Amino acid sequence: MNTSTDIKRVVREKYTAIANQSKEENQSSCCGATSSCCGDDIYNIMADDYTKIGGYNPEADLGLGCGLPTEFAKIKEGNTVIDLGSGAGNDAFVARKLTGETGKVIGIDFTDAMITKARQNAEKLGLNNIEFRQGDIEDMPVTAAKADVVISNCVLNLVPNKHKVFGEIFRVLKPGGHFSISDIVLEGELPEKWKEVAELYAGCVSGAVQKKEYLGIIEEAGFKNITLQKDKTITVPDEILKNYFSEEEIANYKKSNTRITSITVYAEKPAKDERNCCEPGSGCC
């Protein structure tokens, strides 16, 4: 996977397959949030438990997240919230519970099958202030200064150009708006072979960057008050690793100082942009 096009193709194929499975198939194949087998798939080993959270919809929970960004997002009634990589709608429905009937939630996803699934879930719930748009979050189908809050759950690590995504987040947030994003980052270097395994990329591991670099990208985009709200170590089970690597390769990885981490990070767009440059996303900032 040497190009952005290759990466996006792999992500679309993997998540289309997940979206097209039934809830029962997702659970039995370890993609569902209530599954505990986790034998061959990496997608759900990072997922947190949503079942006791207001707005939770089991049909929308495919167990694909790595945090609970809505828990930290400071969403208020009447807010407009954008959910990046909204999948079947899990976080979007939780956000809708917090915004109430006077707010609005916009979910954006790269995969047509996920958009279809999310829209079906919204229709079943009879919600008229939540919508799902197909689009690339490197170039969001949203006007500037639209959102009070942006959330995302284990998605940005899948995106080749993270600088562009955070520039887009800055663009779509209102002045004074903020984001809370859960994502996978690294401390230490993964073996080069990991980056060539498509399953590990689509499973959110191989696309992760260094934590320091990730936070630096956020700062470069113009955000302030950058805060780590949660930081937890992710352990990839041996039964998953053995599908891709030899025993020697697994042993060498375990001896390394590499740490795969799920973080939830918060940051604010300044009420006034005092940088001497144009708006992010226009190519000169």
Map tokens 């997240």 to a residue: 65
Token pair belonging to 9: 């193709």
Close Cβ partners of 212 (under 8 Å, ≥ 6 residues apart)? none
Q: Which DSSP state fits 210?
A: B
* Sheet of strand 130-134: strand arrangement: 130-134, 104-109, 80-84, 147-153, 173-187, 259-268, 224-234
Split into its structural domains, the chain has a count of: 1
How many CA atoms lie within 13 Å of 119's alpha carbon, on the beta-carbon side?
12
Cα-based distances in Å from 75 to 54, 57, 179, 192? 13, 18, 10, 39
Token pair belonging to 87: 């999948």
Task: Tell me the residue length of the chain.
Answer: 285
Tens-digit pLDDT profile for residues 139-175: 999 999 999 999 999 999 888 899 999 999 999 999 9
Q: Of 138, 137, 128, nearest to 109 (Cα)? A: 137
CATH of the domain at 87: 3.40.50.150
Q: Is residue 199 part of a domain?
A: yes
Which of these ranges, 69-73, 167-171, 252-256, has the smallest mean pLDDT? 252-256
Give the bridge partners for 228, in sequence order.
Answer: 265
pLDDT of 276 reads 55
Q: Is residue 48 part of a domain?
A: yes
pLDDT of 20 reads 78
228 — phi, psi (to 5°)? -80, 115
- pLDDT > 70: percent of the chain: 80
The C-alpha atoms of residue 133 and residue 135 are separated, in whole angstroms, by: 6
pLDDT of 40 reads 45
Token pair belonging to 231: 């930081």
Residue 197 pLDDT class (50, 70, 90 cuts): low
Q: Is residue 128 part of a domain?
A: yes
The C-alpha atoms of residue 20 and residue 2 are separated, in whole angstroms, by: 27
Q: Is residue 10 part of a domain?
A: yes
Q: Of 129, 137, 144, 67, nearest to 98 (Cα)? A: 129
Residues 98/55, Cβ–Cβ less than 8 Å:
yes
Statement: residue 103 has pLDDT above 50: yes
Q: Is residue 279 part of a domain?
A: no
pLDDT of 39 reads 39
pLDDT of 37 reads 33
Q: Is residue 88 part of a domain?
A: yes
7 — phi, psi (to 5°)? -60, -45
Tens-digit pLDDT profile for residues 10-68: 677 777 877 777 555 554 443 333 333 333 454 456 678 888 899 999 999 888 888 99
How many helices (H) does the chain have, and how many strands (E)?
A: 10, 7
Mean pLDDT of 6-12: 72
Q: Is residue 274 part of a domain?
A: no
The C-alpha atoms of residue 102 and residue 25 are separated, in whole angstroms, by: 36
Residues 67/230, Cβ–Cβ less than 8 Å:
yes
pLDDT of 199 reads 52
Give the domain extent around 52: 4-268
If you average pLDDT over every residue of the chain, what do you get?
84
Q: What global pTM score does this model have?
A: 0.85
pLDDT of 273 reads 65
How many CA atoms lie within 13 Å of 67's alpha carbon, on the beta-carbon side?
30
Q: Is residue 135 part of a domain?
A: yes
Token pair belonging to 41: 């798939």
H/E element, 226: strand 224-234
